[in-house]
Structure 1
Amino acid sequence: MSESTIDATRAQARVALVTCDLFPSLWDDDFPLRDELRSRGVAVDAVSWDDPSADWDAYGLSILRSPWDYVPRRDAFLAWARSVPRLLNPADVLVWNTDKRYLSDLAAAGVPITPTTYVAPGETWTPPFEGEWVVKPTISAGSQDTGRYTLPGHRSKAAAHVTRLTEAGRTAMVQPYLKAVDTAGETALLFFPDATGRLTFSHAARKGPMLTGPDEGKIDPGSEQIDARDPSPAELTTAEQVLSAIPGGVDGLLYARVDLIPGPDGAPMLLELELTEPSLFFRTAPLSAARLADAIISRL
């Protein structure tokens, strides 16, 4: 066997789980996946996406998991993603999914989304006179720079939040705060490839409320209450509708997370479609990490 063939064989059995300096050994939600891969004989490294010493060519696959510090450096992150061979999910998906204006594309395709107003730099926003509203940037992760405002009491704070974002050159988005978050919570539906490679429902989790008031800085990623949940038929149907509306289709995806919440009439509405670096809530479904590990090995 030639030396190049040996190197190629080694690379095929080596996987990078991509993280950041905040979690150099991975966010603990990913430990089950790491352990399942290692139990199958795959060498697994936790590698920060911006590590200048990383040899991405050495990996059979590089899988995005917790690169959560990319937000202020999105352009650099996307340039890095384009340079990495065998990256999942792939770079063209990240370009679309790391800016939450993708919601408007899904809405145009008929997906029921939470009503959203976008305020770009140079534009102004006049707060409504009443109601509860969420303000956040279109490019964010982990609920950073996100606040919940009750009007009219928080009217000036909500306006100041939007202005702070737009004056920093960021696009703000404003959505009504849906009361079902406080009762039913969000339903996160996870999809992994099956044995045929088709993206298929794996498991679901209930996400409890996180926003209690105006933006006060970064929210800890572990502060959210996560529990196992069986999705309703309506939620499964809506999630499939979301996936079918993804530009370019889902064939190249290793995972997808669809976050839904009951709207005012009780029907599921999309909050976010997570294709870049979502927590996958392996601990809520004991076999889920094994399913994704099998899908990864099939792609090696």
Structure 2
Amino acid sequence: MKVVLASCAALPEGDGDEDALVEALRSDGVDVVWQPWGADVHADLVVLRATWDYTDRLDEFLAWCDRVPALANPASVVRWNTDKSYLVELAERGVAVVPTTVVSPGSAPDFPDGEFVVKPAIGAGSRGAARFTDHGSALAHFEALGVKALVQPYQSSVDSNGETALVFFAGEYSHSFHKGPMLAQGLAESASGLYVEEELGGIEPTAAQVALAEQVLDVAAELLSLRRADFLYARVDVVEGPGGEPLLLELELTEPTLGFRHTGPEAAARLSAAVRAAVD
């Protein structure tokens, strides 16, 4: 069994988070190699991982995904998930989502009062995301982006509680990790050019957070005419709303960091088992 972990030219073997997964796969007898996306690939399964430069070449990336015979997650999922407008679709189906407005280039955004975030609808690693109170500065940022963007009220709980990332393999809950606040006033700074550095650590989610994440995956699977188990991996990022309730911030089904460095080796073993089951 040969498995390719897809990366990008700037990080041909990822950022180190997948080291435990590579070890688990090899312990399970899987021939696993890294390969930057774009070229033809021959494997029993290609797993999208550190493909973090795709936002600058989205059409090329999606065309490559369409050409890969066995891709996880599937190309149809990637096409839907790389545009964060999916948050509006999920909200329309009853999911508790951070209030989200999609703004197209050339239109006049209706910014909310208080603090809010403007970020590209198609983006990875928090690049281009910025936090504002001043409408003029926000408009200048939106116009500089020149792309479809999301406007969301900033959830002040993030400053004290951060985000909780819940990770699922083949539709089943695996583990969670904590993400500290990244957005001060103004634009998030990216040290690598591919993603904003995050403060991460292990955490146990609440029952309400797990219930929301389960609902998110169920609704997403229904929207895509799939089973929840068809998502080889998923990361559901939730924050605390004004009343203490969990709200969906993002559903990551394309290339999320899975937090192997912040949990035990059993998590990598679970994904290895899911990979082998997907091939079988």
TM-score, scaled to structure 1: 0.87
SS at match of 1:188: strand
Question: After TM superposition, which residue ranges in structure 1, 4 or more long, deviate above 4 angstroms?
Answer: none
Contact in 2 for aligned 1:144/1:219 (Cα 8 Å): no
Counterpart in 1 of 2:90?
A: 106
User: Is the counterpart of residue 72 in structure 1 residue 51 in structure 2?
Assistant: no
> Over alpha carbons, which structure has the higher Rg?
1
Paired with 2:22 and 2:189, the residues of 1 have a C-alpha distance of 31
Determine helix, strand or coil for the equivalent of 1:76. Answer: helix
1:131 deviation in Å?
A: 1.1
The match for 1:24 among 12, 21, 34 is: 12
**Over residues 6-37 of structure 1, what are the superposed CA-to-partner deviations in whole Å (9 max), with x where a residue is unaligned?**
xxxxxxx1110000011112221111111111
* 2:144 counterpart residue number: 164
Which of 183, 194, 214 aligns to 2:160? It is 183
Question: Which of 131, 137, 145 is 1:148 aligned to?
Answer: 131
Distance 2:106 2:199 in 1: 37
Q: Is the contact made by 1:24 and 1:48 (CA closer than 8 Å) also made in structure 2? A: yes
Contact 1:260 1:269 in 2 (8 A): yes
Aligned match of 1:204:
176
Amino acid aligned to 2:262: T
CA contact (8 A) 2:188 2:196 kept: no
How many angstroms apart in 1 are the aligned matches of 2:104 and 2:126? 19
Cα root mean square deviation, aligned: 1.4
Tell whether the 8 Å contact from 1:143 to 1:219 is kept in structure 2 after alignment. Answer: no
Could you say what secondary structure the match of 2:17 adopts? helix
**What SS does structure 1 have at the residue aligned with 2:115?**
strand
**Aligned 8 A contact 1:145 1:218 in 2:** no
Secondary structure at 1:288 match in 2? helix
| Matched ranges for 1:129-148 at <5 A | 130-148=113-131
Q: How does 1:1-300 map to 2 (within 5 A)?
A: 13-50=1-38, 52=39, 54=40, 56=41, 58-128=42-112, 130-149=113-132, 151=133, 154-165=134-145, 168=146, 170-193=147-170, 199-215=171-187, 218=190, 220=192, 221=195, 223-246=197-220, 247=223, 248-249=225-226, 250-286=228-264, 287-300=266-279
Cα displacement (A) at 1:126: 4.3
Name the CA distance, whole Å, in 1 between partners of 2:191 and 2:239.
20
- Partners in 1 of 2:196 and 2:152 — Cα distance? 24
**Between 178-187 and 88-97, the greater mean CA deviation after superposition:** 178-187
Change (3 A) 1:179 1:23: same
Cα distance, 1:191 vs. partner? 0.5
Question: TM-score normalised to the size of structure 2?
Answer: 0.93
SS in 1 for 2:18: helix
Structure 1 spans left out of the alignment, 5+ residues? 1-12, 194-198
Offset of 1:127 from its aligned partner? 3.6
Give the secondary structure class of the aligned counterpart of 2:47. strand
In the TM superposition, residue 146 of structure 1 has moved relative to its aligned partner by 0.8
Give a deviation string over 1:64-102, Cα, whole Å, max 9, x none. Answer: 001000002111111110100110000000110000000
CA distance in 2, matches of 1:261, 1:183: 11
Aligned length, in residue pairs: 272
Per-residue Cα deviation, 1:258-297 (whole angstroms, up to 9, x for no partner): 0001100000000000000000001222110111011111
Decide whether the 8 Å contact of 1:17 with 1:46 is kept in 2.
yes
Contact 2:166-2:205 at 8 Å conserved across structures:
yes
Distance 1:137 1:223 in 2: 18
Residue type of the alignment partner of 1:30: E
- Residue ranges of structure 2 left out of the alignment (5+ in a row): none
Q: Is the 8 A contact 2:5 2:47 kept in 1?
A: yes
SS at match of 1:41: coil
Aligned counterparts of 2:199 and 2:232: Cα–Cα separation in 1? 25
